[in-house]
Amino acid sequence: MDPKSAASNGRVIVVTGAGGGLGGAFARRFGEHGASVLVADLDHASAQATADALAADGVRAQAVRVDVSDGTSTEELAEAAKAFSGGRVHVLINNAAIYGGLRRAPFDEITEDEWDRVLSVNLKGVWLVTRALSPLLGEGSHIVNVSSATVFSGSANWAHYVASKAGVIGLTRALATELGPRGISVNAVAPGFTLTDASRDLVPGAETYGVERSALRRAIQPDDIVGAVEFLASENSGFVTGQTLIVDGGRQFI
């Protein structure tokens, strides 16, 4: 079976952080292959822009504002998803995170407020969204959580971000264990430094950043990550759960 059609055709997909960047790329790809897409983002205008672009291409899509760090907001997302889907969500992609604009600093210069903010969105948000939407997931549903390859490199001056994304991997394993008896798979994808607008703003020379350290000597494009998520959201990965797929062109083993 074609992993693209298996992942998308006729199914309902919820993507958080889908107003742009990787989340927008996920929404577009799944929409291209027949999914109905609930586009969730803290910035409702960005979510609406993504949903409008999808609708212009004939995709059934709806925008919804969500603060993934707030339990009430995630319950409202679940209500919107229930109304949009008719009660069944096939794929949940937990992508929302604080990344672009995040201040890099030594661990002992990170403020408590900033630490708490990053962990609240990047880690707690995955838990809250999954908790809220889990009643809409059933046999054969897939959850894909977006972690980061920085977990494995221990990127300096990035402790709050690295810790939050490491937590996503641990949470993925715990959720896989708990949701497995319901026939729900839970996996994570760990992208390397990927060329998005946020990445370009974050790192000077982003187009070539880290390329010399990878086995595949080119920059990572959003489509590289999208393809991995499609696999983890398809029937082709139906017996894969609790795993983390590193997508970084081989940088972590070089």
- The enclosing domain of 46 has a CATH number of 3.40.50.720
- pLDDT computed for residue 230 by the predictor: 96
- pLDDT computed for residue 3 by the predictor: 40
**Is 253 within the bounds of a domain?**
no
Beta strands in 90-237 (DSSP E): 91-94, 142-146, 185-191
**Is 162 within the bounds of a domain?**
yes
Answer yes or no: are the C-beta atoms of 107 and 115 closer than 8 Å.
Answer: no
**Is 133 within the bounds of a domain?**
yes
> Which residue in this structure is represented by tokens 């370009």?
200
- pLDDT computed for residue 200 by the predictor: 53
Helix (H) or strand (E) holding 133: helix 125-133
Report how far residue 241's alpha carbon sits from residue 229's, in angstroms, rounded to the nearest whole number: 13
> Which residue in this structure is represented by tokens 């994808």?
189
| Residues forming the active site | 161
Report how far residue 152's alpha carbon sits from residue 148's, in angstroms, rounded to the nearest whole number: 8
Answer yes or no: are the C-beta atoms of 168 and 188 closer than 8 Å.
Answer: yes
**Is 254 within the bounds of a domain?**
no
- pLDDT computed for residue 193 by the predictor: 74
Please report how many Cα atoms fall inside a 13 Å half-sphere around the Cα of residue 187, on the Cβ side: 22
Nearest to 239 by CA among 191, 189, 186, 171: 186
**Is 252 within the bounds of a domain?**
no
Give the count of domains, the chain: 1
Report how far residue 149's alpha carbon sits from residue 248's, in angstroms, rounded to the nearest whole number: 7
Looking at the DSSP bridge assignments, the partners of residue 191 are 247
What's the pTM value of the predicted model, to 2 decimals? 0.91
Per-residue pLDDT tens, the chain, 254 aa: give them. Answer: 344 444 456 799 999 999 999 999 999 999 999 999 999 999 999 999 999 999 999 999 999 999 999 999 999 999 999 999 999 999 999 999 998 778 888 999 999 999 999 999 999 999 999 999 999 999 999 999 999 998 988 888 889 999 999 999 999 999 999 999 999 999 999 998 765 665 655 666 656 666 667 767 777 778 888 999 999 999 999 999 999 999 987 777 65
- pLDDT computed for residue 67 by the predictor: 98
Contacts of 190 (CB under 8 A, 6+ apart): 147, 148, 149, 151, 152, 165, 169, 244, 245, 246, 247, 248
**Is 30 within the bounds of a domain?**
yes
- pLDDT computed for residue 47 by the predictor: 98
Range of the domain at 73: 3-247
